Chain A
Amino acid sequence: MSVTAPAQSAPSQSATADIEASCRWPLLALFGGAVLWLLLGLIFALIASLKFHNPHFLYSQSYLTYGRVRLAHQTALLYGFAVPAALGVGLWLLCRLGRSPLPAPGVALIGVILWNIAVLIGVAAILCGDSSGFESFAMPGYVTVILLVSYLLIALCGLLAFHRRAEGPLYPSQWFVLGAFFWFPWIFSTASMLLLCLPVRGVMQASIAWWYAHNFSSIVLGYFGLSSIFYFIPKLLARPLHSHYLAALAFWTLALFGSWGGIPTGAPLPSWIVSMGVVGAVLTAVPLLAVFVNFYHTARHNVEALDAHLTLRFTYVALVFWLIAGMQQIVGVLPNVSALTDYTWFSVAQWELFHYGFFALAMFGAIYYIVPRLLDRADPPVWSPGLVQAHFWPTFFGILISYIALLVGGVGQGFLLNDPNYTFAQVTRGTLMALRADTLGDLCIVVGTLFFLLNFALLLSRFACRRWTDLRKGAA
């Protein structure tokens, strides 16, 4: 039942070098932009978080009021960081696994630049008070149009590379990337159309906004993150993936059930919709279990190797966080639990664990592997190992601190809220400690990200210096 790990039968060096070279500029633009947006998004998160210490922090201007900053934070993180990073990893996997160079890299590069300009306009619009108001979909309508066009430019290049692939059989990572490539424009155009262009009536808007946010995270970002995990863990452990069938089971059950839900249990919607969401969320236990068993059997013989490679460390920690976030989601929809935890920081804790703990770490792992090879396939420049450590540990502990603080704070908030003898002011006071601990977590993640940015800049500059010396030598 075992299958060969990706790219084990090594193709000729020059063909691989061509593939990497074709991806170079679009992917560098995607990753570079993503890291800058991540930092900006985290700074917004920090500003929002500091307001819980003192509501009079940066309060006098409308563009830095809590509501706007929080939406800007989510937008920068989801559309500035998450989607571009995911597209970069996705394009690279399609080219690499299909053994075909990226066609029309110039078109993809234009798409990337347009995308980043659109996100910039979107974040500025949110800060100026022109947001759509929907969480995870806060950008105004005129921006979503540009985003959709630039997404199509980038994704079509990827699809073309997939179409021209030299390798016949597909590896699971390719399914996941294609699934996400396909899913995103569908949900994004549905949401733009039915929330912004021709808004549907009444509570349908809320239903669609919840459905969009859920699908965007669980399926689109989930698929991209998993594609990287499915590629790097077997490849860098030099062990075949345990089972293609389990991978297929995870893929299809996640597509079917992971896409239902995201709707709070007490929502003012017909109860069958809410029930379907609960059923779907509970059934995501199947993909969780399938992925867990698959990787347990893939990695169990050399667990110690997981820590040896820097990409692997990020990737397997991301996998563990994905499993935890998934389990939390299942527990959170159970009726007795959701009565307690809906609309509390409990769900924010899950959101942060999924987006930072799982998705961002999976992307960091991939970026650490991909970027040096993009620059020079034959002799990849190396990351500074100290800075990698300085990136990993603050990020890891920051995620843990934030997650545990918000989880505990959220459950506590739920208990206090459900007892009407506590006034709301008392409930608020009860959560303050957790929110302030969360600031510490955010700060750690910012520090880690700064080191990552520094490492990225150093890598690029070292490579540029080397090129420059080579050129000078060639001239002399």
Chain B
Amino acid sequence: MNTFLKYSLRFIALMFIQTLILNQLELGWGIQLMVYPLLLVLLPFDIDTIPLMGIAFLLGFGIDAMSNTYGLHTSSIVLLAYMRPIIYKMYAPRDGYENFADGNIYEMGTRWFVFVYGSMLIIHHLWFFTMEIFRITDFFFIMQKTLLSLPLSFILSLLVQALFVAKPKER
């Protein structure tokens, strides 16, 4: 498949999953499911940080416009796009990323994915809920929201990946 088309489809699919399904779910206890950070992992490794931040901005903007959050999603996803090269460098495999297309779990292995995507989600959720509540006295509420949403978002991201990312054929 054309690479550009493939990544555009992932962009659109994640945006609509987030706005039309996940943002409509109200689970209580402050849980909010967010899988759109997955896009950053599913974009190619050789993309530069500035275009990456541009794509992230567009994605966040689209989600914000459809869920009345006015820039909250944009802010957290742009932060994550900025952090991506730093996190990638921390967990780089021995031979670098040259032989890989993008960071999906089938290509990079479970261990790498758990570490990289896990730390990305932690940063994203913390920033998101801190900005949403924006009050020091509600620190424990921010923590509660983050810690409850994190595992669920992570599991859901695995499921979304199983749905939308094709397993590479055995070589």
> Does chain A bind chain B?
no
Taking Cβ atoms with an 8 Å cutoff, the residues of B that contact A are: none
On A, residues with C-beta under 8 Å from B are none
